[in-house]
């Protein structure tokens, strides 16, 4: 029994070991900004940075190049925090270095700078120790530093390369805040310009719509005034014949009974009205976009159907019918009007 338990434990242990071997960590890479925080001298003495607000920073921008500079805080009382965030500091560009980092497996790393091997120890994902000429420098990643600030410092270093005299560059929190403010201000200005353009476009559309309606009204009025007397008499006779026809009487009877009109009924109404009021439907649709309900209300107005009967055949409240008519007047003329005002307009078409 003890032997079986021992064998089971061994099997479980082997399985766990296999799982651990199968789990592979992502290869370590030097990327981003790193700040020197300590140096350990061969004598055993250690130096903690920053000293009087001064330390070094490296920007590993690719798998083979890093840029470095000296940074000095302008506020010694907050020197470490300022340097980590690269605000209120003076940057002195120092140059660029070619480096190589090879993962040898089993946490072993081969590291060199400008072709010179330098022992490197990875303490964790954000802390490394690089030995140079017997001095062990501890570098910590400046993960709190904004990427925009890192890119700015890198561009400063690149721009200073090849110049004989070293230059100092000031990175202030006021400047950073000013850039942020300018960025926000630019966004607000763009939004304001787009809003003004939108309002202007709407106003132009309303003005053109008003002009279009006024032109149509003028054309309708001129057309009516220029009709010869015989034509007027003929049209009036056609209208009177329609309202005295058996079809109209049957339609009025059907409407009075409260029966809802079907699609075939509406199609027939349109066809019957075409010879009586030529161009009526096209003029209506030319004025504004209409829903099916709004168009049917206009047809019933032209048929001289009372609002209460309209509500019955359309299965709506009388108040809804009144609202539709007044809303149509506002859509077309851009001002408030009574439902009867819309009726008078429709009957004038």
pLDDT for position 119: 92
Secondary structure (DSSP) of 281-298:
HHHHHHHS---HHHHHHH
d(CA 279, CA 268): 16
What does the pLDDT look like over 156-213, one tens digit per residue?
999 888 777 778 888 876 655 566 666 777 888 889 888 888 888 877 776 776 667 6
What does the pLDDT look like over 281-306, one tens digit per residue?
888 887 778 889 999 999 999 899 89
Query: Average pLDDT over the chain, rounded to whole?
Result: 82
d(CA 260, CA 313): 4
Give the mean model confidence (pLDDT) for residues 219-232. 65
**Cross-strand partners of 120:** 130
Contacts 24+ apart (CB under 8 A), 18-25: none
DSSP letter at 9 equals H
Question: Residue 222 above 80 pLDDT?
Answer: no
Task: Tell which wins on pLDDT, 166 or 24.
Answer: 166
Helix (H) or strand (E) holding 264: helix 263-273
Q: Which of 88-102, 201-215, 225-239 is most confident?
A: 88-102
């Amino acid at each position: 029994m003890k032997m079986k338990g021992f064998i089971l434990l061994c099997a479980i242990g082997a399985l766990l070991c296999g799982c651990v071997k199968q789990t592979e960590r992502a290869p370590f890479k030097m990327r981003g900004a790193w700040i020197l925080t300590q140096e350990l001298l061969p004598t055993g003495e250690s130096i903690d940075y920053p000293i009087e607000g001064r330390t070094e920073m490296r920007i590993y921008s690719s798998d083979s190049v890093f840029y470095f500079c000296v940074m000095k805080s302008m506020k010694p009382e907050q020197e470490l925090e300022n340097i980590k965030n690269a605000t209120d500091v003076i940057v002195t560009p120092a140059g660029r270095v070619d480096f190589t980092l090879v993962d040898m497996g089993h946490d072993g790393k081969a590291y060199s700078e400008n072709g010179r091997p330098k022992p490197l120890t990875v303490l964790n994902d954000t802390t490394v120790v690089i030995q140079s000429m017997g001095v062990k420098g501890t570098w910590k990643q400046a993960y709190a530093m904004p990427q925009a600030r890192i890119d700015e410092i890198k561009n400063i270093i690149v721009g200073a390369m090849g110049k004989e005299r070293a230059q100092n560059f000031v990175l202030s929190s006021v400047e950073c805040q000013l850039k942020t403010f300018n960025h926000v201000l630019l966004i607000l200005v763009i939004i304001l310009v787009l809003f003004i353009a939108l309002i202007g476009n709407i106003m132009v559309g309303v003005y053109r719509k008003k002009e279009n309606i006024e032109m149509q009204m003028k054309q309708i009025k001129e057309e009516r005034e220029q009709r010869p007397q015989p034509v007027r008499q003929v049209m009036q006779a056609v209208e009177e014949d329609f309202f005295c026809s058996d079809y109209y009487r049957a339609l009025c009877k059907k409407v009075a009974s409260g029966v809802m009109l079907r699609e075939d009924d509406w199609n027939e109404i349109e066809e019957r009205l075409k010879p009586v009021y030529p161009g009526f439907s096209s003029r209506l649709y030319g004025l504004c976009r209409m829903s099916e309900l709004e168009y049917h209300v206009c047809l019933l107005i032209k048929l001289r159907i009372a609002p209460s009967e309209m509500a019955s055949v359309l299965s709506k409240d009388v108040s809804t019918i009144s609202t539709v008519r007044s809303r149509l007047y506002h859509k077309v003329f851009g001002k408030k009007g009574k439902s009867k005002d819309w009726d008078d307009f429709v009957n004038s078409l």
